[in-house]
């Protein structure tokens, strides 16, 4: 799977979290969705899948963490005051990571 396909699917989640299985604007729910997404790709024969490892390292630098070992979800949650704000911050960071203007 191409990273572009993942980004397109994430854009759909951003627009309609309730219709995509995320249920609400929650970063923890989004992380669970992405874990299932990757597992589905793997089970479907896409052994390479799509990884957010590069994004993980970028988030660590962007948010001032010395190491990316806690993972992008935990780093974003540490900087946000709520799950909903963390959800929005994820997409702001993803846009910057992709070189897109932040809405």
Q: What is the pLDDT of residues 61-72, one digit of tens each?
A: 999 999 999 999
CA dist 50 and 69 (Å) reads 19
Token pair, residue 6, equals 């993942």
Q: Are 73 and 27 in contact (CB under 8 A)?
A: yes
Task: Enter the pTM of the model.
Answer: 0.82
Report which of residues 27 and 21 the model is more confident about.
27
Residue 18 CA to residue 31 CA, distance in Å, equals 15
Instruction: Estimate the crossing angle of helix 83-98 against helix 27-43, to 10 degrees.
Output: 60
pLDDT band of 45, cuts 50, 70, 90: low
Domain ranges of the chain: 3-98
**3-7, 8-12, 22-26, 88-92: least confidently modelled range:** 3-7
For residues 30-55, average pLDDT: 73
Q: Which residues contact 57 (CB under 8 A, 6 or more apart)?
A: 68
**Which pLDDT belongs to residue 50?**
56
Quick one: average pLDDT of 13-21? Answer: 77
- d(CA 88, CA 94) in angstroms, rounded, equals 10
């Amino acid at each position: 799977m191409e990273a572009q396909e993942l980004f397109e699917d994430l854009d759909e989640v951003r627009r309609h979290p309730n219709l995509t299985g995320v249920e609400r604007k929650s970063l923890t729910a989004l992380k669970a969705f992405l874990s299932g997404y990757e597992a589905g790709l793997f089970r479907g024969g896409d052994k390479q899948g799509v990884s957010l490892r590069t994004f993980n390292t970028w988030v660590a630098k962007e948010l001032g963490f010395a190491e990316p070992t806690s993972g992008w979800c935990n780093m974003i949650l540490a900087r946000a005051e709520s799950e909903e704000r963390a959800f929005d911050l994820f997409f702001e960071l993803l846009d910057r990571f992709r070189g897109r203007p932040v809405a």
